[in-house]
Chains A and B, each alone.
Chain A
Amino acid sequence: MSRSFLESTTVGFGRAFTRAMLSETTAQQRGLLQSLDPRVRVVGLFALVLAVELSRKIAVVAALLVVAVVMAVASRVSIFTLAKRVWLIALGFTGVIALPAIFVTPGRPIAALGTVAITEQGLRTAALLVLRVETAVTFTTLLVLCTPWSHVLKALRALRLPKEAIVMLAMTYRYVFLLVETASQMFESRRSRTVGVLKPQGQRRMAARTAGVLLSKSFALSDNVYLAMQSRGFRGDVQVLSDWRLTMWDFIALFGFLLAGSFAVWMGR
């Protein structure tokens, strides 16, 4: 199957928008995670990802996966969506990487496939890897699905990340969509003027030219944005607004997250 550069890249662009849309609709639902202060969400979910990383026992990581699924359901995230967009993709990638480990890891052989032996250590390491990857990515996805991007950034700011970094993350995200739109329009006009499918060399040239035009536009854009920022008072040290108050529920939830995480680490040591 040879999909032209245009088609496959455009599909990739579409993914970005659907992801953003999904995040927006989910963030507006009234669920468990959505009810928490964004800072608690960020700290809590990071803590659980860390717990996934620190645990050494398969059972503990599996338990954390169950916790993730429960949180997803409580936050009105459909399991089907999670499975389709997150689990299957991660499984495809990590599964392929983990599979040979079953045979290759030295240790106590359990079964034999012809001349190749499956070791107990191999099975355990593959399971551990796959479970870790799936659980961690579930937590991260939950955070992003349930929190608008601007809130994620404000939460990071509250956690003492330098404000230049926050502003750059915000602006980059905002302009990604503009550039994707511009690139899509260039592809559209290119597609309408091309008869048949271009040869790979032609496609490469078009890719480079599209990227080149995008690059020049990016520079012009950044120049103008800088002027617009200055026009509204920006003098080099950006000022941002922080506007959340923690409630009792937030403290309880935060405590819960940290407790669960520490428990998991202790059990899995």
Chain B
Amino acid sequence: MTPLFELRDVCFDYEGIPALRGLSLQINRSERLALLGANGSGKSTLLRMLDGLCSPSQGSLHFEARQLTAELLQRDDFALPFRRRVALVFQNPDVQLFNPTVFDEVAFAPLQLGWSREQVLSRVEQTLEYMRLTGVRDRPPYRLSGGEKKRVALASVLVLDPEVLLLDEPTATLDPRSQSQIIDLIQEWKGSSKTVISATHQLEIVEDIADRVILLEEGKVAAMGAPAEILSNNELLLRANLVHAHRHSHNGVVHSHPHIHSHSKHEH
């Protein structure tokens, strides 16, 4: 079966600074994937590339066996279906919330893709209900809480019912309740035909949202495998700057070992 996405030796520079250095990867349909990496490892760049927002400076990117290039995306007959099927939720919701009200925001994508007025209105209502945003439908973005903004950002792409969801740090900076809401959503998609690729540096949620983990280090794939496998490899995680080791104490004992500060307990 052809992979949904395939990257071969992809390089990308952002204003002279290399973000991706020879990255090769295959992503299959209906996978739930987690891209793990510290800030600056290239996660966001990779997601944007998968959404066709930037092109490799070297190497090639293929979507359903077709090479994804800037020229291909200029063609409406390819671009319109692509934009509907592949959706990206940005790390900073303020970037994605550029319309006057929540309703306008959710309606933006279907409008740009040429849906009819009735389709737009009904689908937006459905999505607002699904994401429990009907109460704030007429609110401007600056009056939304962090969790609400993230939900609106999600709603603004879910309205299209995309097949591929690219999530850049879906739970970062959220309070616990909003975090769990997002995680619940992602878990709902398990077993569906949706492909979900989440980039995160929060190790504690990885097992909940992914079946396969790709570890990125300095713009390249450093490791790949099942969540349990990767998360138990402390050496790897330390090197990738995803965990730290410093002296700490509990149970009255002072010691040091790789760990992250989270809700999960660990044994000694």
Contact = CB atoms under 8 A, between A and B. Distances in A.
- Most B Cβ at <10 Å: residue of A225, A229, A233, A235: A233
Contact of A177 (B90, B111, B142): B142
A170 interface: yes
- A-B pairs, 8 with minimum CB distance: A233-B112, A150-B100, A232-B109, A177-B142, A224-B95, A233-B83, A239-B111, A233-B113
Contacts of B90: 224, 227-228
Nearest to A151: B100
A153 interface: yes
Contacts of B121: 243
A200 B200 CA distance: 45
Nearest to B79: A235
A235 B112 contact: yes
A171 interface: yes
Interface in A198-237: 221, 224-225, 227-235
A149 interface: yes
A166 to B, nearest CB: 10
Interface string B159-182: 010000000000000000000000
Contact of B107 (A174, A227, A231, A241): A241
Nearest to B111: A239
Interface of A: 20, 148-150, 153, 170-171, 173-175, 177-178, 181, 221, 224-225, 227-235, 238-241, 243
Contacts of B141: 174, 177-178
Given A232-B156, A233-B80, A174 B95 contact: no
A2 B114 CA distance: 56
A153 B101 CA distance: 12
A177 B144 CA distance: 12
A239 B112 contact: yes
A232 B83 contact: yes
Nearest to A27: B138
A144 to B, nearest CB: 14
A225 B98 contact: yes
29 contacts: A20-B140, A148-B100, A148-B101, A148-B138, A149-B100, A149-B140, A153-B100, A170-B100, A173-B100, A174-B97, A174-B98, A175-B98, A181-B142, A224-B90, A224-B92, A225-B95, A225-B98, A228-B98, A231-B87, A231-B88, A232-B87, A232-B156, A232-B157, A233-B109, A233-B112, A235-B79, A235-B112, A239-B114, A241-B107
A230 B84 CA distance: 11
A189 B143 CA distance: 22
Interface string B219-263: 000000000000000000000000000000000000000000000
A20 B84 CA distance: 35
